[in-house]
């Protein structure tokens, strides 16, 4: 979703800039230290468990570790995961036994008698000075208990290399110890998803695995892969080779996506890629071993330019044979809002029987590759202007008694749903599909706002909440001068306010919640990580933890501990939460007034107008600033005590004048 351009871009951007200061202030005393320090570990688990009781003492990991594990194929996956996580950074020799063992220090046990409180994904974790025990009804619960256990170890447990070898020059030794605790924990919701758009920019299967490794740390259990769009078709479909021969490739462009000129005919179309069916099987298996289901999305009828470029006969529109896979040029006019006005027709034709035969073949193969019970078929942002003037569409409307374009799309969606269900799968789509009077067994992913999910739930549709205002990870995290420019902002504190189960609906219709990472402006996996974390932690806590346990100051103190863990894991994250927030106005005599604040309380802001780089010996911000007459740049940085914690920000005075409106 997500090609908001031109006038809409600037309208929403200006609103988001002015609205960035309406955020909660927090108090945090956590130190931002080296991730490989020797500070005794705190109980800083994300997402927050249901019950945690701190006990006296610590469990210290011995040089030789024995893990007792109930012997099943699924528990073996948990055992293998834990063995690697413990042995690699610590250098400990980790073995396992399947039977009862008095000598084992760690016990992974499936309950003989079902504990109904825990459900399928809950666990009980007990740490004493001599033993660690994780109990669960199912292997998935053991896996989530392992994630919590690892978060009790020092941050260096996340290292992919032996710590001693990596830090051989250091004389300081890490003590691999865990505080004694009793934890009972289980998820609030069953659907805890992250959407990864691999269509706008292609990410290799190894990068997808890397993304999975990061998400399971926070107990996500669904990876939604957005596999097709205007910019690329990313999955091999046998019998339709052009989908990947043509549809997977574009002209490489870098800069502000959506503003590029149309590629010249001689520019090489060699940027992109796709997953073979064997690649997909490997990704699905890798995810399964980490208790993650993979939800495939084939986005139709809109967002289909890559498919149409490959097979123009899938379009209603004359001249489609000249269409090319989008390389970031402008193809939609959003000046009048949604649905957009298409400059090229990126829709599959609802009146073309070839489309349904094509989709039957695609869905048949997708259903065989992905074991998950749902297939996502898109349905968002389909433009109507080409359909409105098409004779085949007019004939379809007459034949089927369709009164408007929403009903035309509804006709399409209903036929696609029948195909999906004929393969033994359940159909889910973006919330626009409900404009076509879909049956109650249609599941909906509500992205345009909470109200659409609420309306769907009241009409007894199953709903996954993924609203833009809380869960869109492609949005800017801080000021536009530091972030990739997108059409809106979403700060960490706002993401943490996400409640996927509104009080006004029957909770049985809310399957869960999800964060979405669209990648128009995300060109590589490091940026994908930067955009996901720490906001992905906020969404994870919203879908796992009891609402009564959510507490913003406490959450952020834990986030800071997890920054150390991400450092140790070499996973990139955004420090945007430490950046100052700019609010501008004008005095009675039209002078520019600059109001600085922070999303995190307890920070000091230092500034300069003389083009030098401020530190804590520069003026400290205490009240609204008026720039000197000829100043061109405001430089600011945040400190916690004597230590810089924010990024140096360079704010042009010209930019602030624009935001305040000209004198």
Which uninterrupted H or E stretch holds 93? Answer: strand 93-97
Q: What percent of the chain has pLDDT over 90?
A: 88
Model confidence pLDDT, tens digit, residues 502-528:
999 999 999 999 999 999 999 999 999
333-347 average pLDDT score: 92
Higher pLDDT among residues 210 and 164, named by residue: 210
Residue 33 clears pLDDT 80, i.e. is over it: no
CA 166 to chain centre: 31
Q: Which residues contact 5 (CB under 8 A, 6 or more apart)?
A: 258, 259, 330, 332, 333, 334
Range name among 80-84, 111-115, 335-339, 408-412 with the lowest pLDDT average: 335-339
Q: Which domains does the chain have, with CATH numbers?
A: 6-16+189-569 (3.20.20.80), 51-185 (3.30.379.10), 579-660 (2.60.40)
599-615 average pLDDT score: 96
pLDDT of residue 1: 57
Cβ count near 642 (within 10 Å)? 8
Measuring CA to CA, which residue among 600, 594, 575, 601 is closest to residue 636?
Answer: 594
58-80 average pLDDT score: 94
Residue 19 clears pLDDT 80, i.e. is over it: no
356-379 average pLDDT score: 98
Catalytic residues: 229, 303, 381
Range name among 162-166, 240-244, 291-295 with the lowest pLDDT average: 162-166
Measure the CA–CA gap between 653 and 103, rounded to whole angstroms. 68
CA 663 to chain centre: 41
DSSP string, 51-80: EEEEEEEEEE--SEEEEEE--SHHHHHHHH
Residue 7 clears pLDDT 80, i.e. is over it: no
pLDDT of residue 487: 87
Which uninterrupted H or E stretch holds 468? Answer: helix 468-471
610-615 average pLDDT score: 98
Measured CA angle at 205 (ends 159, 512), to 5 deg: 80
Measuring CA to CA, which residue among 542, 556, 574, 557 is closest to residue 476?
Answer: 574
DSSP string, 147-208: HHHHHHS-GGGG-SS-HHHHTTT--PPP--EEEEEEEEE--S-SEEEEEEE-SSS---HHHH
pLDDT of residue 24: 33
Measuring CA to CA, which residue among 613, 654, 615 is closest to residue 481?
Answer: 654
Q: Which residues make beta-bridge pairs with 7?
A: none
| pLDDT band at residue 2 using 50, 70 and 90 as cut-offs | low
Residue 427 clears pLDDT 50, i.e. is over it: yes
What's the whole-number average pLDDT of the chain? 92
Range name among 3-17, 426-440, 457-471 with the lowest pLDDT average: 3-17
Q: Which residues make beta-bridge pairs with 376?
A: 297, 428
pLDDT of residue 663: 61
554-562 average pLDDT score: 96
Range name among 27-31, 104-108, 631-635 with the lowest pLDDT average: 27-31
Q: What percent of the chain has pLDDT over 70?
A: 92
Task: Tell me which DSSP letter residue 335 carries.
Answer: T
632-636 average pLDDT score: 98
| pLDDT band at residue 173 using 50, 70 and 90 as cut-offs | confident
| pLDDT band at residue 102 using 50, 70 and 90 as cut-offs | confident
Residue 355 contacts residue 317 (beta carbons within 8 Å): no
pLDDT of residue 279: 98
97's tokens? 């036994």
pLDDT of residue 552: 94
Measuring CA to CA, which residue among 207, 62, 196, 220 is closest to residue 143?
Answer: 220
**Half-sphere exposure of residue 272, counting CA atoms within 13 Å on the CB side?**
30
Measure the CA–CA gap between 96 and 94, rounded to whole angstroms. 7
């Amino acid at each position: 979703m997500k090609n908001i351009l031109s006038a809409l871009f600037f309208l929403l951007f200006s609103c988001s800039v002015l609205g960035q200061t309406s955020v909660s202030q927090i108090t945090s005393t956590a130190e931002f230290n080296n991730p490989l320090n020797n500070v005794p570990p705190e109980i800083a688990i994300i997402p927050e468990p249901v019950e945690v009781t701190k006990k006296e003492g610590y469990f210290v990991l011995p040089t030789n570790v024995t893990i007792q594990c109930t012997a099943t194929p699924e528990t073996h996956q948990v055992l293998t995961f834990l063995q690697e996580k413990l042995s690699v950074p610590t250098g400990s020799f980790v073995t396992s036994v399947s039977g009862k063992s008095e000598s084992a220090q760690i016990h992974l046990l499936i309950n003989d008698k079902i504990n109904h409180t825990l459900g399928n994904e809950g666990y009980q974790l007990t740490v004493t000075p001599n033993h660690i025990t994780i109990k669960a009804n199912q292997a998935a619960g053991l896996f989530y208990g392992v994630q919590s256990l690892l978060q009790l170890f020092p941050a260096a447990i996340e290292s992919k290399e032996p710590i001693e070898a990596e830090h051989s020059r250091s004389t300081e030794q890490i003590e691999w110890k865990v505080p004694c605790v009793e934890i009972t924990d289980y998820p609030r919701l069953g659907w805890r998803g992250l959407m990864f758009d691999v269509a706008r920019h292609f990410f290799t299967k190894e990068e997808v695995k890397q993304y999975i490794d990061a998400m399971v740390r926070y107990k996500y259990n669904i990876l939604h892969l957005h596999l097709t769009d205007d910019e690329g078709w990313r999955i091999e479909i046998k019998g339709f080779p052009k989908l990947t021969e043509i549809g997977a490739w574009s002209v490489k462009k870098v800069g502000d996506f959506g503003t590029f000129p149309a590629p010249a005919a001689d520019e090489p179309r060699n940027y992109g890629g796709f997953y073979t069916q064997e690649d997909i099987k490997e990704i699905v298996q890798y995810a399964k071993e980490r208790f993650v289901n993979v939800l495939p999305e084939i986005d139709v009828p809109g967002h289909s330019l890559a498919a149409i470029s490959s097979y123009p006969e899938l379009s209603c529109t004359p001249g489609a044979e000249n269409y090319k896979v989008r390389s970031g040029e402008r193809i939609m006019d959003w000046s009048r809002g949604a649905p957009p006005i298409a400059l090229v027709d990126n829709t599959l034709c609802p009146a073309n029987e070839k489309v349904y035969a094509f989709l039957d073949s695609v869905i048949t193969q997708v259903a065989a590759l992905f074991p998950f019970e749902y297939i996502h078929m898109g349905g968002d942002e389909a433009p109507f202007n080409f359909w409105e003037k098409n004779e085949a569409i007019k004939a379809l409307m007459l034949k089927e008694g369709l009164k408007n374009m929403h009903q035309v799309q509804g006709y399409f969606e209903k036929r696609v749903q029948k195909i999906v269900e004929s393969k033994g799968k359940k159909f889910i789509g973006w919330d626009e599909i409900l404009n076509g009077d879909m049956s109650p067994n249609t599941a909906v992913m509500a992205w345009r706002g909470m109200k659409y999910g609420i309306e769907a739930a009241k009409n007894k549709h199953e709903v996954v909440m993924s609203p833009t205002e809380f869960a869109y990870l492609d949005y800017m995290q801080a000021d536009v001068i530091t972030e990739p420019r997108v059409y809106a902002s979403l700060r960490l504190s706002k993401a943490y306010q996400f409640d996927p189960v509104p009080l006004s609906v029957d909770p049985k219709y809310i399957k869960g919640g999800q964060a979405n990472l669209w990648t128009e402006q995300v060109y590589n996996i490091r940026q994908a990580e930067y955009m996901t974390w720490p906001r992905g932690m906020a969404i994870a806590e919203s879908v796992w933890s009891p609402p009564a346990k959510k507490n913003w100051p406490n959450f952020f103190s834990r986030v800071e501990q997890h920054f150390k863990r991400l450092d140790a894991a070499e996973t990139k994250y955004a420090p945007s939460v430490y950046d100052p927030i700019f609010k501008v106005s004008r005095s009675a005599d039209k002078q520019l007034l600059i109001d600085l604040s922070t999303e995190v309380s307890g920070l000091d802001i230092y500034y300069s107008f003389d083009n030098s780089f401020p530190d804590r010996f520069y003026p400290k911000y205490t009240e609204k600033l008026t720039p000197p007459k000829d100043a061109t740049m405001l430089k600011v940085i945040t400190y916690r005590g004597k230590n810089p914690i924010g990024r140096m920000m360079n704010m042009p005075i010209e930019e602030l004048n624009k935001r305040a409106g000209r004198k």
